[in-house]
Amino acid sequence: VGSGLDMSRMYITKTRLQHACDAGALAGRRAMGGGAWDDSDDTQAKNFFKANFITGAYGTQSLEYRYSENAGKVSGTASTVVPMTLMKVLGINTQTLSVTCNAEMKLPNSDVMFVLDTTGSMNCVAGNTNCTNNNGVSAPGSKIEGLKIAVKCFYQIVAQIDVTDTTCPSGEPTGGTGGQVQVRFGFMPYSSNVNVGKLLPSSYFANSWNYQSRTRNGNNTAWSDYQTVYTRSSRDANCSTYATSTEEYRNGSKGCRYCCIRRLLTS
């Protein structure tokens, strides 16, 4: 009975300790983003740990936890001492519980395609409506300069490789994506000199094409009721001359003496 009671406390404590460690690692990796690990990320990780495991919970003592980062992977360790109750009679006064955790950003094999505007107006500063191409020279703070920074920082975040000639808001990453992930980048400049139509051979286009369709074979059909279609222009016209394999015409009668009436073959 005594061992069962203490084992239950140890099981609950270790479960909560593991949850807290995992929460801290995930929070730290999220705070790190695509940049480098710093003190603010470490603080964020520890705050989440403390929110999930309070010091002294379940009668524990000597709580320790720490986080570190290597190659974009945040790792954590946590340990605490659980005092025994009934197991003390067997000379077992305490038990130390330890857990580990980690969090990392994993990308699937990906192909990334950039379609970049390189027209002359990109040499102008955004909002300058009087500028067309700035005489072919990039103005300070121009749209093309901003585009270069955006592309380089995007590459830095995805590939996890520092671009040395650009300072990105996310900071400097480390470690790359690892050997298990393949990320390929492609670039397509968009300008007035690009004519996508020339990339498609004319043989790819057809002037006409046969599509599957259905025709009525006339089997297992029934005639609909006669309905007035139109009034004959001549009293001597014969409505039956308009009949087809699926339509039948005849002269009207009574109130519509000079009308053609029609019935159709229906399924």
The model's pLDDT over 78-103, given as tens digits with 9 standing for 90+, comes to 999 999 888 787 888 899 999 999 99
Provide the pLDDT for residue 78.
97
Q: What letters, b where the CB count within 10 A reaches 16 and e where it falls short, cover 58-69?
A: bebeebebebeb
Counting as low any pLDDT under 50, the low residues of the chain are 235
Provide the pLDDT for residue 178.
61
Six token digits for residue 28: 């730290």
Rounded-to-integer distance, Cα 9 and Cα 16, Å: 11
Provide the pLDDT for residue 61.
93
Provide the pLDDT for residue 256.
57
Provide the pLDDT for residue 56.
92
Provide the pLDDT for residue 79.
96
Provide the pLDDT for residue 147.
93
Provide the pLDDT for residue 119.
85
Q: What would the pLDDT profile of 212-262 be if each residue is shown by its tens digit? A: 665 555 555 676 776 666 655 554 556 766 667 677 777 666 555 567 777
Provide the pLDDT for residue 46.
96
Rounded-to-integer distance, Cα 171 and Cα 36, Å: 6
Question: Is residue 174 a contact partner of residue 71, using CB atoms and an 8 Å limit?
Answer: yes
170: CB partners within 8 A, 6+ apart: 33, 34, 35, 153, 156, 157
